[in-house]
Structure 1
Amino acid sequence: MPSNPDWISAVTLAALLLCTSGFPLPDASTDSPNGDPSGEEGVTEWPVDALKTVLKAALYTTERHRKEFEAEFQGMLDYDFLDKYRIPSLPALCPFSNFSKEACFIRLLQGLRVYSVLLKHVAQEFPNSFIPIETRHYVNLLITEIKEKINAPGQVSVLTNSQEEQLLRDVNNSDNFHRKMTAHSILYKLHHFLIRGKRVIDKREKPRRGMHNRGVEKNNEI
């Protein structure tokens, strides 16, 4: 765990805010409009630790973006319209099946590094909003925490300067409206990227039902 005082204060603040203010975690209605094949309702609560506290705070921040978007467009554009806004080089979501927790952590780490760069574009488009600043802060904290969970974090490649520059060029546009909508879409996609990762990892942490039943049968025999 890092000993940086800023990191400690940020996580402590996030934990206090979440505990005292009752920040809501987005429910199943905020999942991707393409549908959730897991059949699970809502987002399962996790025991509190640094990673999960920061993740919950990050999700609350991206959920605030939804409210700001809806307030800005006043029903003229639906929030889920952003799902159709295509952005090059976005990371893939963690799949619900045939994917280990370690593999999902690796995909989250790789994806969050991409989003950390793309959030620079968001900050440029929304200079008067704290949301892109807060979101990037939590994304960077998540990167640090996820590296602690991975067996060999050094094997996950770091983006080069040229790759970062290419990501920002890909989302740049001479049209002001398209640049702004791209920024909105980055926050939208990140929100669902985090929700999916949380659900997949949570699912991997649950004991298998078959193993549980076998344990109950064994205890009954004793």
Structure 2
Amino acid sequence: MTMRVPLSTTLCAVVLGAAVLSGCSGGAEDDRTAPADLPHCELLLGKRNVSTALDAMGPGKQVVSALPVKELTGQLVSEAKAWKRADLQHDSYSACRIDVLGEEEGAQVLEATVKWSALLLDSMSEPKHAKTWREVNDQVFVELDAGRPAARLLLACGVPGAAEGQALGLPMEVAVSDSGLDEALRGKLLSEFARALTKSVGCTNAPQVPPTLPE
């Protein structure tokens, strides 16, 4: 049996459908539409961590800029392979930056950066570093400064094809800064970021970064 639909009902359905589609196609101007670069941040920082951070940062237009993991990895590996012991200047890469533009509280910012560091693991026991840096294990150190909304990890990461001694002579420095997130969440973001990088770069020494960092 064929069900017949009155013409008036059909017209109403078409009009209603067009209205719904129009309301759903707000495009990039709709704050609820996920920015195109957000998946890159989720791969590096963890999807759940990013979601929790966005909730904490409050409502507003999200502006995201991020490097694809493959591109970021290629730049880090290339720089490490070209390293010489006399090199002290290294590029810093903004792997993920999220700005939430609120109307009342201003912009809330979350940024994750990485670079090959001029700091050395052997220097972490020196008084000027021992005040703020804590040893996680013999290949990983963390700096959690309660006075600043930021945290850093310093870790040995041997890059395949790099010069001998690169792992200790050119450690990786990973950082997360924000506009005042919970310290525990900041630590999770930092840990996930570091673990994602060591996996993508393929650190030959396999540094062990725990999911929970010491406070």
TM range (shorter): under 0.3
Larger CA Rg, structure 1 vs 2: 2
Greater RCO (CA < 8 Å, at least 6 residues apart): 1
| Bigger strand share | 2
**TM-score, structure 1 normalization:** 0.25
| Bigger helix share | 1
**TM-score, structure 2 normalization:** 0.25
